[in-house]
Structure 1
Amino acid sequence: MDTFAPFIAYTLALGIAAIIPGPGIAALIGHSLGGRLKSSAFFLTGIALGDVTYLTIAVVGLAALAQSFAGALIILKILGGCYLLYLAYTFWTSDVEVSKLERRHSQSWYSALLTGYAVTISNPKAIIFYMALLPTVLDLGAVTFSNWALLTFLTIFVIFAALSPYAILAAKARAALSQPKSLRRLNRFAATFIGGAGTFILGEALTAMLRRT
């Protein structure tokens, strides 16, 4: 690709897709309400890496192969949805003592990263964008390695630019509270967001399974 027009089109399309509410945003808000801003940054990094994974799959021409393994994608959605429900349960039942919360979140950056990644990989919105809509925005056959590197940078930039405000506002709401009773309510509010995202993804997986039968 010799002009910047395709990159601008990709950036705009991804930005619009990113800010549309979905299970990824719900899970991010829930995680940010239940944790620290640093943990949310790792969660966002996981989301961005998931997007880069799908971008790479599309660029190297594996989109058709991925569609052939629709059953595997359904299993992936089920696993991702179940993990989000488990995460919602841990937030709902977690200890709200501040010192214990600080210690728990300082040790779980890798969990936040993997959770963000799992959310994107199992997110129907991400799958539709990269497997169906992306080919209408970019000529995937003309993407070189340098083009892919630039697209990867744009992907990470757009994801952080579009989703950081959600994480920052939710984390500030968390930081403003210190009473155990308020923290417990906030944890359960976070669990509701995360559980809702997991339920949505599981519902999508069930719908896909019914279509295949």
Structure 2
Amino acid sequence: MDLATLTLFLPACFALNMAPGPNNLLSVSNATRYGYRTSCLAGIGRLLAFAGMIALASAGLAVVLQTSEWLFYGIKIVGAAYLLYLAWQLWTADPQVETATKRPEAGLLALARQEFLVAAGNPKAILIFTAFLPQFVDPSQAVTPQFALLGALFLALEWVAIASYAYMGLHMRRWFSQPRGKRVFNRCCAGLLAAAASVLLMARRT
């Protein structure tokens, strides 16, 4: 995997990691109620769920790539369309609407389990690993090492997102709870996702 691919992957991946989905908002909620350290440690449950999804996606990726190059490019187009869909959702999201999250009553294990279940039950996460990550894999080289590297980078950036949202829960609670703050944050993430989708659509693979 070359440096140019990683240079394209990292900002696009980080935009996905930082998009305000149910797990990230859960980190904000947990930090507000239980503290920064507890919220970050609870995020391990999310990482375990994502690691399992990455392993499953990797197992089926070689078959997809060996079956048809056209199918590979089809996955690429679907992945870019999904990024645009996410961007549209964030751009048009109503900041007045707040999602009520049921909080566990006790313990780090309960919080980690909740993170795991929310991540495992999120269809968007499954789409990311089956339609987004394969776009950065070179089918002419060994697939498994490339997918392992991309997966490891995704999990590392996801940990950064967990810590960042937990920090928001502690120090930016007032700003983040305001409709204007939510709108600005949503639209910044939407712009990053739309830009990533545009670059991916224009990119060609030799």
Unmatched 5+ residue regions in structure 1?
1-16, 139-151
Report the equivalent of 2:98. 101
- The answer as to 2:160 corresponding to 1:165 is yes
Residues 43 and 114 of structure 1 are in contact (CA less than 8 Å); yes or no, is this contact kept in structure 2? no
Per-residue deviation, 1:34: 10
Report the equivalent of 1:56. 59
Report the equivalent of 1:30. 19
TM-score (structure 2 length as normaliser): 0.57
Taking a change above 3 Å as real, the CA distance of residues 33 and 118 of structure 1, as seen in their structure-2 partners, is closer
User: What is the CA deviation profile of residues 127-172 of structure 1, one whole-angstrom value per residue up to 9, with x for unaligned ones?
Assistant: 527972556x69xxxxxxxxxxxxx9xx988854553113431464
Residues 44 and 113 of structure 1 are in contact (CA less than 8 Å); yes or no, is this contact kept in structure 2? no
Per-residue deviation, 1:68: 4.0
User: What is the CA deviation profile of residues 92-112 of structure 1, one whole-angstrom value per residue up to 9, with x for unaligned ones?
Assistant: 111111xx2224999xx5798
Residues 55 and 130 of structure 1 are in contact (CA less than 8 Å); yes or no, is this contact kept in structure 2? no
Letter in 2 for 1:51: I
Deviation >6 Å, runs of 4+: 155-158
- The answer as to 2:202 corresponding to 1:193 is no
How large is the RMSD of aligned CA atoms in angstroms?
Answer: 4.4
Instruction: Report how many aligned residue pairs link the two structures.
Output: 166
TM-score (structure 1 length as normaliser): 0.56
Residues 120 and 126 of structure 1 are in contact (CA less than 8 Å); yes or no, is this contact kept in structure 2? no
Per-residue deviation, 1:123: 3.1
Per-residue deviation, 1:53: 2.9
- Identity percentage of aligned residues: 17
